[in-house]
Every structure is written in structure tokens, then in C-alpha cells.
Structure 1
Amino acid sequence: MILDKVLVAWCPANLLMEVIIMAGAGYPKQDKKTGKWYFVIEAGKDSFGKRTRKKRSFNTKKEAKMAMAEAVLEVKNSRSIQKVVEITVGEYLVYWLENYAKTNTKPKTYAEYDKIVKTHLQPSLGHITLQELKSTQLQNYYKEKLSLLSAQSVIHHHRILSKALNDAIDWEFIDRNVAKGAKPPKPSKREMNTYTVEQLNLLLKTAKERTPVFYPIIYAATHTGMRKSELIGLTWKNVDFPTQRLYIRQTITEANGKYFFNTIPKNEKPRGIKLTAELEKLLLSLKKEYEKQKKILGDSFNPHDLVFFNSKGNIMAPSEISRALKRAIKAANLPDIRFHDLRHSHATILLQANVHPKIVSARLGHSKISVTMDTYSHLTDSIEGIAVDTLDTLLE
């Protein structure tokens, strides 16, 4: 085990050893049974936070006091004598995953950390001794990864490393975080690509013909502005036909081939989205067809009662949805966009139609209207033009 390898009596270099005399008032104590004098001192903690002590006994009080003074001096000077048995960055990161990430993060977050550690950090940095890890080595790692990954992904790696190394300080493996000396790349702002109303209508028509299984979720994205994870996690009990609303109470995300159901906290109000008339028709049709399938195939078909599911009645994989969208885009000969850009297209169309930003913000689930306005600030000129046109019709 890693724990067996890590420590042989280590005193961390940055720790000022606090020596606590266990006998009364800082003096050795006499054992009433044997008559001998003894002392016990705290010698700090090992790399896993376990207390270490020194205890010795003598025939006279004077001998005990002299030996105690030497022991105190030895403990204070131990920083230059005692050494940690070498542990590699790779071994430490496994320890960190087990002792921090697994118990202090959500399952999906842990799965993401685990994947990044095992796919990227361990192969590149795992062989380096934790004590010898340098900022320049991290800098080289960021440079290499930028040729394969986005700047945002590399920044995420930096944050994971920095957190793990901070914890290594708390656990007294090391005395400084070298990630603080490394400079991760600056995040690049993702370009927002949106479709016009005409382009969206063409996309939906093509998707219905070319990818009928995924057409409903693409259609719902354009009509609601919902995120992919929100659409994947939508269940029939959260579609309220009488009020023509659907409610977002959970999302489904994927990491390392596993699906994670993320429910909103009970004290938070679920986001409600008003259905368009056309989306309501589509959902009613889907519900009727689903109920027929359920009667024939039984409870094992779509066991989570999802609104959108694949041809086998299982959760739609995010990658499947993206590929289906790409097929429809290519068939329609439209400019390439991401699935998330359907959400941006939804918001852009509403804002350009002079719908109040507060309404748009509520549909998108933004925490504040300022988030909406900052995200779509590029529409300011367009919206202001609509406002001026309105004024021209009203004022002389």
C-alpha cells in the first residue's frame, strides 16, 4: 500500500515543532510504583496527522531533566535529520482521490477528477517524486496539453493539481504548493454561434427526416432553451399539460461512461418553462406513443420514465445527441454549431423580438438578469435599434 511506503519517522520541514511536556508543569514525573523518573514529549505529527511521542525513564530526576532537554533539542533539529520516504506524484494523486475527492465531491465530480488524474496527470507527471516536483515541470505540462486540449481544460487540470497540492501541505507531505508558481493559460472565450429563425426551421425539418429518434430533443431545445443535461433528465411527471409547463427538477450527466442523476435541493424552487403550442403538441404525441410502448415492453423499457430516450429505451448519451445534431446540420447544409448553441439561438431570437430580458433570463435559468445581459451583450445594438424604431412610431 501507498501508506506503508510513505513514512518512516518524518518531521515536515515547515513545521515549528511544538514540544509539550506531558509531566506536570514541564518537569519529569516520578513513577510511584517503580520510583523511576520519566518524561513524555510530543514530537509533532507524521505525514498522516498521527501524533508521535518520545518517552524515556531514569533513576534520578536530574538524569531525566538532562535527557529531556536533549530530546527537545533533537525534536527541534529533526527537520534537518529526518526525511520522508519518496512518494511519487502519481502515488500521491491516488491517495488524494481516495482520501479527499471520493468523500468530499459529488460522484460526477469525482469521476471527472479520476479520469483526468489517470488519463493525463499520472502519465505525464506521475513518475516525479512529490518532494521534487517543480513549477517549471507543471509549466511544461500545460504547454504540452495545450496542443491536445482547450485552454479551459488545461486550466481545469491546473485547479485540480493546485487543490491536491494544497491538501498535501495540510497533510504535511510537502511544505509548499509549486502550482502557485506555474502559469496556466488564459481562458479563451468560446465563440457563440446562433441560427436565425429560418435556419432553425430548416434544421428541425431536416432532423425530423434524417434522425427521427433525436428529433424531439433537438426540437425541445430550440423551443425551450434548456441545457442538454436538463433535457436528458426530464421525466414525464415534470411535464404539466394542464398548465402547459415543464419543470426542471433533475439533470442527468455522464462521466467515464457512467450516468449521474443530479436533483435540485429540496429548498430550491424548480425552474418552470412555459411550453409553446407546437412543443405541447409534440409532447402529447410522444406521451401517447410512449404509453403504447410501455404496455407492450413492460417496466424494463425506459425505467426512469424519461421524456427523451434512445431506441432501446435507455438514457440518451450526450455524445449520441451531438452526433445526431451534426448529421442534421450537414444534411441541411447549415453552418456548424454545438448543441448548446441551440440554447443561445433560443435566447437571441427572443431578445431580438424585444422580449423582456427578465423573461428570457427566467426561461434560461440564469441566477440573475445581469448574467443574461452579459452573455448576450453583443445584441445591445440590435435591441437598441428596435427600441429606437418603436420610439419613431410613437413620438413626433
Structure 2
Amino acid sequence: MASYQKRGLRSWLLVVETGADSDKFRDKETKTIRVPEELLKTPKKLEQHLDEELLKFKIEVETGVFFKADNMKFSDFVPEWKKKFAEKHLEETSQGNYLFHLEKRILPYFGHMLMQKIKPLHIETYLDDLSQSEKEKHQKSTGEKLGSATLVYNYRVLRSVFTKAKEWKIIKENPLDGVKKPKEEQKEVEVYGEEEVSLILRLLEPEPVLFKSLIILAITTAMRRGELLGLEWKHVDFENGIININQSIPKYKNGQPVIKGPKNKGSRRKVAIPQIALETLREFERQWKKDHFNSEDTWLGGSYRFLFSNENGMPFYPKTIGDKWRSFHKRNSEHGLKYIRFHDLRHTSATLLINEGVHPKIISNRLGHSKIGTTMNVYGHVIDSADKTAAEKFQGLFTDKTKTDVSTHSKVVDELLTDC
């Protein structure tokens, strides 16, 4: 049974009975709505509007879509947030990271609490506890001080959850509005210098051409790992020496690669490659065709022709690339090459270009950043250092010129005095 009753000038209470409990009292769900003021002047339209709202509410209750905000726990809301927001709007990798922090840290802390009862002080206490506990665990296992990334990421996840809760009228106030975002320490990226890159190129000589191509492209194009995995032969323009970056494989899901479009509007781009990369890719293409033609594995790649794939056509798992890079470094440890992550080859590429005086806008385009501000934020310290080097060059230029002018002037004066 469903009904509605007037509660105020423009508000009505919708009531839907859901059954009877053991004491013969009727269980029911209620919802208060406000109607547009213009409907109050037309009784027939008002009645029609209320009937429609009541019917929608009845369907929500009977199908389980309706949830009562007053009694909703944090653990009950998260699945709604995941289904209605995260799975629809978050990029695959971000979605996985958000859920990881929710399940590992946030849900065990807030899960039992009512959404309406969570206040800014609860958030502050959580972040303080997290900061202390994570630092202790990290220091115990590594002896190093924990960075701010975990703290900031947890704040970001909570902000997303509670922002949606407020938009969906589950809560009246967002408790994050009263909490200052934790200060994020700008961590300097680990990169290779020119001499180290030259060493890597020498060490790559005896390596299989597939791996050689992977590392050379990572250094010379600054492509992301997922972009390298999504690269197909049709994206390589040999005639013009250009790589067309159109898709990415950030992860596997249910045993299949997740093939996605560009990360942002700047990620779909064309990147020019140097001659060494072009020559290596030509060699790689010949070897790739030979390997796949002679392979006895069943082709599983469909219409795709990924560069960095198994002989069955399936692209490598993202983790595989990191594993191959670590193995290469371990095999060559006697050369004294420091270890950096595979992703840091992207940073290396950007840093080398900055130090060569390439315009930040061009570097930003090669990196696939949608805004040059992102490039400036990540590589600001490198740009500052390069700027100081540029100033020193000017100083050297003018100093040398001044010395030359003074020397020449002195010589002329000496000659004139001698003539006299």
C-alpha cells in the first residue's frame, strides 16, 4: 500500500508499506519531497505530480534501489558509490587504487559508522592515526621515513566518497570540507644522466631486439608503460619517423587486456623518434614477422598487432615489463648502473630534453600532459636547475667577451706607448 500526505506548504510525505512485523505493526519506508510552487495553483497537475512521485518511490522500494539515508552506514554506501560512480567515471588504474585503499584502510575504520554521524574530527583522527601507524610500519620494514603519498591518496578517496554522498542527498554536510588536505611533499624523481643512458645503450646491444626496442622507445619517446603495451605496428610511421599514440593497456581484467583510449585530451599524440629508434624498430619488425609466422601458438590477438606481445599475439601483462627491466639491471649490476623504476625512464626522457634546452611546451606534448602546468609541477626543479645553467652560460659569455675586450684594449695602448 502506498500513500502521501501533506507536511508543509510545499512538502509531502510519501509512504510505502513493505509488510507487517511480528506485532502486526506495518513496516514502511518514507520519503519527503518538495513540489514546484507553480503546481500549487493547479490541483489537477499537483495530484498528477504526486502520483508519479509516489509510483517512482514505490518502485524504488520494491526493487531495492531506495536506501534510507538516516540509517545508512559507510560500509553500505561504498558499494553504491562504486557502482554508480567509480565503475562509470574512474579510469581503470585509478579505480583499482581507490578500491585498494578503501578495502585495506578506510572501510575497516569507518565501515561501522553512520554516514550522517561522520564529522570532520573523525576524518582528522583517521588521518593522524594513519600517518603514525604507516610511518611505524614503513620504518620497521625499510628503515626509511614514509612519504606523504599514502596520506594524500586516502584523503582523495574520502573526498570522492563524501562528495558523492552529499550530491546524492545522503548527507547534508561533507565532513571533508572542514579538513585541510595533507601537505604533499614533492618527491624528486630518480633519473639517468647522459652518461648512464649511453651505458644503457651499450648494454642493450646483445639483448633481444624486442627488449632493446622497448627500452629505447621508453627513453626516446617518454611513453607510459600502458601506452607502450597498446602500441601496434600500424601506429609506427616509418616513412616520417613518427609514433602515433592512440591507445593504452593499463591492466588485464578477467584474463583479457583492457584496451583504452587516451588518458586525457593530450594523451592522443604524435611523437617524433630519432634515427636509432627507427633503425631498431625496423629490425624488430622483421624479427616480429618472422617469429609470428613460424609460431605454432594459436593466435589470440584478434585483429591487433601489438609490438610487445607474446607469440600468440596477446600483449604482455603490465607487470612483465617491470620484471624484464629489473632482470636486465640485475644482469648488468657489475657496471655500477643505479636502479630506477621502469616508469622513471619516462622521467629520464623529459629531464634530458629539459637539460638540452627544449621548450617545456614541446616536452609537455611529448609526455602527453593535457596542461603545461602539469609538466612544470613535476619537473619544476629540473627546469629551475637548467635555467641557472643557462644564466651561468650568459655569465661566461659576457665574462669571456669582457676579458677579450680588456686584453685587446691593453695591447693597443701598449703599442701606442711604444710608438711614442
Q: Same fold (TM over 0.5)?
A: yes
| 2:292 matched residue in structure 1 | 294
Amino acid at match of 1:96: W
Residues 33-48 of structure 1: pairs in structure 2 closer than 5 A: none
| 1:262 matched residue in structure 2 | 260
Query: CA contact under 8 A between 2:245 and 2:267: conserved in structure 1?
Result: no
**What is the Cα deviation at residue 261 of structure 1?**
2.0
Residues 1-396 of structure 1: pairs in structure 2 closer than 5 A: 8-10=28-30, 50=57, 86-146=71-131, 147=134, 151-206=148-203, 214-254=211-251, 259-264=257-262, 270-297=268-295, 300=299, 302-303=301-302, 304-310=304-310, 313-330=313-330, 331=333, 332-367=335-370, 372=375, 375=379, 376-377=382-383, 378-389=385-396
Query: CA contact under 8 A between 1:325 and 1:339: conserved in structure 2?
Result: yes
**Counterpart-to-counterpart distance in 2, 1:239 and 1:210:** 22
User: What SS does the corresponding residue of 1:174 show, helix, strand or coil?
Assistant: coil
Q: Deviations over 1:112-159 (max 9, x none)?
A: 444443343323321222222233332333334441685334323323
**What is the Cα deviation at residue 365 of structure 1?**
3.5
Query: CA contact under 8 A between 1:42 and 1:51: conserved in structure 2?
Result: no
Task: Supply the RMSD in Å over aligned alpha carbons.
Answer: 4.2
**Counterpart-to-counterpart distance in 1, 2:241 and 2:119:** 58
Amino acid at match of 2:327: R
* Bigger Cα displacement from structure 2, 99-108 vs 226-235: 99-108
Q: Deviations over 1:314-372 (max 9, x none)?
A: 32333332233233334243223222322232233333334454544443334455654
**Counterpart-to-counterpart distance in 1, 2:314 and 2:308:** 9
Task: Summarize the Cα distance change of 1:226–1:138 in structure 2 as closer, same or farther, 3 Å threshold.
Answer: same
**Counterpart-to-counterpart distance in 2, 1:166 and 1:248:** 34
**Counterpart-to-counterpart distance in 1, 2:397 and 2:278:** 32
**Counterpart-to-counterpart distance in 2, 1:280 and 1:254:** 27
User: What SS does the corresponding residue of 2:244 show, helix, strand or coil?
Assistant: strand
User: What SS does the corresponding residue of 1:260 show, helix, strand or coil?
Assistant: strand
| 2:12 matched residue in structure 1 | none
Task: Summarize the Cα distance change of 1:264–1:99 in structure 2 as closer, same or farther, 3 Å threshold.
Answer: closer
Unmatched segments (≥5 aa) in structure 2: 1-17, 19-26, 60-67, 139-145, 406-420
- Normalized per residue, the structure richer in helix is 2
Task: Summarize the Cα distance change of 1:356–1:25 in structure 2 as closer, same or farther, 3 Å threshold.
Answer: closer
Q: Deviations over 1:221-266 (max 9, x none)?
A: 1122222222222111010111111111112212777743222499
Amino acid at match of 1:316: F
**Counterpart-to-counterpart distance in 2, 1:341 and 1:320:** 16
Unmatched segments (≥5 aa) in structure 1: 30-38, 53-82
Query: CA contact under 8 A between 1:224 and 1:346: conserved in structure 2?
Result: yes
Task: Summarize the Cα distance change of 1:105–1:386 in structure 2 as closer, same or farther, 3 Å threshold.
Answer: same
Task: Summarize the Cα distance change of 1:385–1:236 in structure 2 as closer, same or farther, 3 Å threshold.
Answer: farther
Q: Deviations over 1:252-296 (max 9, x none)?
A: 212777743222499989422222111111101110011112222
Query: CA contact under 8 A between 2:245 and 2:268: conserved in structure 1?
Result: yes
**Counterpart-to-counterpart distance in 1, 2:229 and 2:170:** 43
Query: CA contact under 8 A between 1:248 and 1:272: conserved in structure 2?
Result: yes
% identical equivalent positions: 23
* Bigger Cα displacement from structure 2, 279-288 vs 264-273: 264-273
Task: Summarize the Cα distance change of 1:127–1:235 in structure 2 as closer, same or farther, 3 Å threshold.
Answer: same
* Bigger Cα displacement from structure 2, 351-360 vs 236-245: 351-360
Higher relative contact order (Cα pairs below 8 Å, separated by 6+ residues):
1
User: What SS does the corresponding residue of 2:71 show, helix, strand or coil?
Assistant: coil
* Bigger Cα displacement from structure 2, 185-194 vs 367-376: 367-376
**Counterpart-to-counterpart distance in 2, 1:22 and 1:346:** 64
**Counterpart-to-counterpart distance in 2, 1:256 and 1:88:** 30
* Bigger Cα displacement from structure 2, 301-310 vs 143-152: 143-152
**Counterpart-to-counterpart distance in 1, 2:181 and 2:371:** 29
User: What SS does the corresponding residue of 1:172 show, helix, strand or coil?
Assistant: coil
TM-score with structure 2 setting the length: 0.67
Task: Summarize the Cα distance change of 1:86–1:268 in structure 2 as closer, same or farther, 3 Å threshold.
Answer: closer
**Counterpart-to-counterpart distance in 2, 1:353 and 1:194:** 15
| 1:36 matched residue in structure 2 | none
Amino acid at match of 1:168: A
How many pairs align?
Answer: 347
Amino acid at match of 1:232: L
